[in-house]
Structure 1
Amino acid sequence: MAKTPEKSLTRREREIMDIIYRRGRATAQEVLDELPDPPSYSAVRALLRLLEERGHVKHAQEGQKYVYAPSVPRSDARKSALAHVVKTFFAGSVDQAVATLLESAESSPTKLSRAELDRLSEIIERAKNEGR
């Protein structure tokens, strides 16, 4: 049975996970090649080993290389990361987090479209009807 990943990641671990999620799978060298201000190859291998021990990635051996892939779907990782942000920065208040996102979208060059706002309204209405 797969281990449930620990929630918090360091900045460098998040960068590595972003690369692996974006690529779908990657070797240590491929991760190293895409990291900004990369550490040594040995450091990347050590970080990948730690991420695997903590349940974030798994590996398959292909020849002499280990190829790493996420151990949980990106959608699950998003939910976990978002829950962590809401707990850490908004004291668990979902409404404050959503309000902040919507307010920042108003001043953003990429404002929410009418269709996106309608979709959010539908989600909120469904949650009301389900008693959430």
Structure 2
Amino acid sequence: MTRRKPDLDPLSRRERQIMDIVYRRGQATIREVLDELPDPPTYSAVRALVKVLEDKGHLRHTQDGPTYVYAPTRPRDRVATSALAHVVDTFFGGSASDAVAALLDLDGRELSREELDELGAMIEQARKEGR
């Protein structure tokens, strides 16, 4: 399989935490991010991390008076698909079937009958479409 380059630069753990907050809220100020971060660093450190996320293309800002308000540049589902493709390439050699097998084998995470039926339907649809 050919490896695809992720749409955006990968994120550090702290950058992912910040993006989770911004996605959950829809938009956020530095103060709002700081208030929701677990074991938060300093205000200046959060501001620097948000700037890095802007530079990487994950966030954009608008100005509301003296305050910058940050929002994601791409919808969460599009970023999730790109991140998942990166994980499949990196940890499963590009094999979707190996990745799905690993997901099905996660300890403590049993799929319901409805979820299994839904997965079966998606696989059937992919077959029909030649994917």
**Structures share a fold, TM > 0.5?**
yes
3-state DSSP of counterpart to 1:127 = helix
8 Å CA contact 1:7–1:81 kept in 2: the answer is no
| C-alpha spacing 1:62/1:79, structure 2 compared with 1 (3 Å) | same
Task: Note the residue ranges of structure 1 that are not aligned, 5 or more in a row.
Answer: none
Alpha-carbon separation, structure 1, partners of 2:37 and 2:7: 22
Runs of 4+ with deviation above 4 angstroms? none
Q: How many residues align?
A: 126
> Which blocks of at least 5 consecutive residues in structure 2 are unaligned?
1-5
Distance 2:127 2:97 in 1: 13
Partner in structure 2 of residue 69 of structure 1:
71
In structure 2, how many angstroms separate the alpha carbons of the residues matched to 1:54 and 1:7? 6
What amino acid sits opposite 1:71 in the alignment? T
Shift of 1:56: 0.2
Partner SS state of residue 26, structure 1 = coil
Contact 1:59 1:66 in 2 (8 A): yes
User: In structure 2, what is the equivalent of residue 125 of structure 1?
Assistant: 124
Superposed, 1:47-126 pairs within 5 Å as 47-104=49-106, 107-108=107-108, 110-126=109-125
Whose RCO is larger (CA < 8 A, sep 6+)? 2
Q: What's the C-alpha RMSD, in Å, of the aligned pairs?
A: 1.4
**Equivalent position SS for 1:61:** strand
TM-score (ref. length: structure 1): 0.90
